[in-house]
C-alpha cells in the first residue's frame, strides 16, 4: 500500500469517526486518539499498512460495542478493495495459525518465513564448504532460526513470545499491533540481509555452481529433505542461490517491507 493510499484510507476513517461522533458521541469515536495513534505509528516507522488494517478492524469493533454493527456496510468500497488486494497478495504463502487471535497477515508472514527457514536456506550448506560463505550464512541462520524455525509442534521462539502476548489477560490491541510490527520489522531487516548475502555469494563465481545439483548427499531429516529436493530439483548451484534471493525478495515485496532496510549506521 503506497503512502498516498494509506492517507486516503485514513481520510475515510476520519470521516467515519466524525460521523460516529455525531451519531453515538465522542466516547465511542475519539478522533483525537485515532490521530495520536497515527502520529505514533509514523514517528516510530511502524508498518503503516498493518497499522491501517488494524484501525479498520478497530472501527468494526467499535460499531459492535455501540450496538451498530449493521452500519459496517457503510465503510467505503475503497477500504474493502484495499483489504481484498492485501489478502490476495499474500494468500499464496502457507498460513500457520499459531493462536486463535493471530491475524491473517502475521499467520501468512510467519508461514512464508518458516518456509524460507526450513526449505530454502539449507541449500547453501549443501552447495559449498567455503568459509567465506558459511560464516555469514551461520549468522543469518541463527537470526532466522529465532524468528521462524518451528520447535517440534511449537512455533519459533519469537512467535512463541507473540503468542504469549496474545494470551495475556488485559492485553490491548495497540500492544498486539506494536509487537506484531516489531516482528515484521526485525524480519524485514533479516530478509534484506539474506538478499544481500545471495548477491554476495553469486559474486564469488564458483565454477562448481554451474552444474546441476546432486541431492544424494543432502543430509536432512527425511520429510524436510524431500521438501528441499522438490524446491531445488533440476537446478544448478547458481539457480538455487537466485531462487533463495527471489523468494526472500518476494516476501519483502508482497508484505510491503521495502522501507525496513537497516541503515549503514546501524
For residue 151, the cross-strand partners are 154
Alpha-carbon distances, residue 163 vs 106, 155, 185, 218 (angstroms): 11, 9, 17, 33
Under-50 pLDDT residues of the chain: 265-266
pLDDT at position 263: 66
The pTM for the full model equals 0.74
Amino acid at each position: 500500500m503506497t503512502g498516498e493510499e494509506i492517507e486516503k484510507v485514513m481520510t475515510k476513517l476520519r470521516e467515519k469517526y466524525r460521523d460516529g461522533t455525531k451519531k453515538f458521541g465522542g466516547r465511542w469515536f475519539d478522533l483525537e486518539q485515532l490521530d495520536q495513534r497515527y502520529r505514533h505509528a509514523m514517528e516510530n516507522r511502524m508498518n503503516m499498512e498493518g497499522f491501517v488494517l488494524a484501525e479498520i478492524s478497530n472501527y468494526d469493533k467499535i460499531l459492535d460495542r455501540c450496538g451498530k454493527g449493521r452500519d459496517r456496510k457503510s465503510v467505503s468500497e475503497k477500504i474493502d478493495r484495499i483489504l481484498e488486494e492485501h489478502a490476495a497478495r499474500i494468500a499464496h504463502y502457507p498460513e500457520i495459525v499459531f493462536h486463535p487471535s493471530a491475524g491473517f497477515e502475521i499467520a501468512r508472514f510467519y508461514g512464508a518465513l518458516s518456509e524460507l527457514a526450513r526449505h530454502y536456506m539449507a541449500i547453501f550448506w549443501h552447495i559449498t564448504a567455503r568459509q567465506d560463505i558459511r560464516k555469514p550464512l551461520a549468522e543469518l541462520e541463527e537470526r532466522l532460526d529465532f524468528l521462524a524455525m518451528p520447535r517440534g509442534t511449537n512455533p519459533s521462539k519469537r512467535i512463541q513470545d507473540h503468542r504469549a502476548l496474545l494470551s495475556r489477560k488485559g492485553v490491548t490491541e495497540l500492544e498486539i499491533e506494536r509487537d506484531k510490527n516489531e516482528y515484521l520489522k526485525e524480519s524485514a531487516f533479516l530478509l534484506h540481509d539474506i538478499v544481500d548475502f545471495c548477491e554476495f555469494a553469486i559474486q564469488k563465481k564458483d565454477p562448481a555452481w554451474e552444474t546441476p545439483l546432486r541431492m544424494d548427499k543432502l543430509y536432512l531429516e527425511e520429510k524436510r529433505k524431500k521438501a528441499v529436493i522438490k524446491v531445488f530439483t533440476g537446478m544448478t548451484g547458481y539457480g538455487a542461490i537466485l531462487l533463495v534471493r527471489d523468494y526472500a525478495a518476494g516476501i519483502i515485496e508482497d508484505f510491503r517491507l521495502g522501507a525496513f532496510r537497516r541503515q549503514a549506521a546501524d
